[in-house]
Amino acid sequence: MLLLRMAFRNLFRQYRRTILTALSIGGGYIVFVLSVSLVEGSYGNVIDIFTKDSVGHIQIHRKSYREKPKTYLTIDNRKELEELFHKESKIISFAPRVLSMALAYGKEKSTPVKVLGIDPNLESGVTRIKEKIFSGDYFDSIPNADGYYKAMIGSSIAKSLKINIGDELILIGQGAEGSIANDIFIVSSIVGNEDSFDRMTVYLPLIASQSFLSLSDEVHQYALLVNTPKRNVEIADELQETLSNLEVAPWQRIETTFYQTMQADKKGNNYTLVLIVFLVFVGVLNTILMSVLERTKEFGVIRAIGCRPSKLILLINLETMFLTFLSISLSLVIVIPMIYWFANTGFLLSEPIDMGGVMFQHMRGEFSLYVFLKPMIIIFITSMLVSLPPGFRAARMTPKNAMDIN
């Protein structure tokens, strides 16, 4: 208790030192929180755009399909599976899909394309497919008066085949039983641009793609959105235990290259955070060291009346920790409204960024306990470590040498 009282008294007696140290710690904490919020928010936005472009948070396939995608490797117990999705509270939405490769013919040319059969209603609940339509209208599952289904095509396909909305698109592929698949579709819209992930994709209504590939009600894939995207790996593992006959994979495993690139880039941004911590470290060390030098005679008196070196180190450490706590508490009053605004409103970028056909122009941060807690813990640990060298210096002083200093 005596050390606590002395720490408080010394803390508030050294006004200039207290203000300098508080500004150093508080300013460093605010910058640190803003940086963490920006990093986490930016990556969160990019991942949100990426997963809602097409991949979803979790994908389900028949085992071995991802390694060797064959048309006949389908998921056939759809009714039971979708009942499970409806009952599972962690799943927000799901979309069944049929996947295949085909050769597309236009008026004069042909080009290889990826065929993606989707449920028009369910797919829009998982991805931003409607937002990616560059021209034309979103299709439905009803054929026209001539019996032709509509198709949405990527912009590169439209450019390569020189076809537009209302034109016929001929697809030739291989059916599930090895037969030749061929059909004619009417282009209803063009999706994205030439930089989009789906620039070479032909979207068909699910029922049309099943008919085209000679499938009954089977599908190749389910894409899921979950209520807590950051826990999608855990949710995928839980679903895998239930669906042991299928493969349940989070997007991190589906898009390994993208995920590893994101992680490498995120590690690179950690150097900026290390620099912020270093600046706080230097600032706090300088002010505490100056405080020790200014109070050399005081420490000499304390040593002369019987204070042990370890107690003196603890005294300086307690002063620093109290000041850190006070600085962070005051900084939270300033930084919480800033991060709240940053996370909910953000700001517009000077130039929009195209992420998979969706224009991304708002930069937002993240408002979470992690954003505030991580810098707080690091600042506390840094302040505690910084207080040790001045404390050891004060502890090494003898009463005689301390009192002789002018």
DSSP 291-346: HHHHTHHHHHHHHHTT--HHHHHHHHHHHHHHHHHHHHHHHHHHHHHHHHHHHHT-
- Give pTM, 2 decimals: 0.75
Identify whether residues 32 and 158 lie together within a single domain: no
pLDDT at res. 354? 54
Q: How many CA atoms lie within 13 A of 67 on its CB side?
A: 4
pLDDT at res. 369? 87
> In 51-179, where does DSSP find H-type helix?
78-87, 120-123, 155-161
Identify whether residues 215 and 350 lie together within a single domain: no
Identify whether residues 17 and 126 lie together within a single domain: no
Burial 136-159 (b: 16+ CB within 10 A, else e): bebbeeeeeeeeebbbbbbbbbbe
Give the number of domains in the chain: 2
pLDDT at res. 302? 67
| Residues in the chain where the model's pLDDT stays below 70 | 1-21, 280, 284-285, 287-307, 309, 349-350, 352-362, 394-395, 397-406
Identify whether residues 31 and 136 lie together within a single domain: no
pLDDT at res. 17? 62
Identify whether residues 15 and 80 lie together within a single domain: no
The domain in which residue 283 lies consists of 2-51+259-404
pLDDT at res. 361? 67
pLDDT at res. 321? 81
pLDDT at res. 320? 78
pLDDT at res. 357? 45
Q: How many residues does the chain have?
A: 406
160 in a domain, yes or no? Answer: yes
Identify whether residues 267 and 294 lie together within a single domain: yes
pLDDT at res. 13? 53
Identify whether residues 276 and 343 lie together within a single domain: yes
Identify whether residues 47 and 82 lie together within a single domain: no
Residue type present at position 378: I
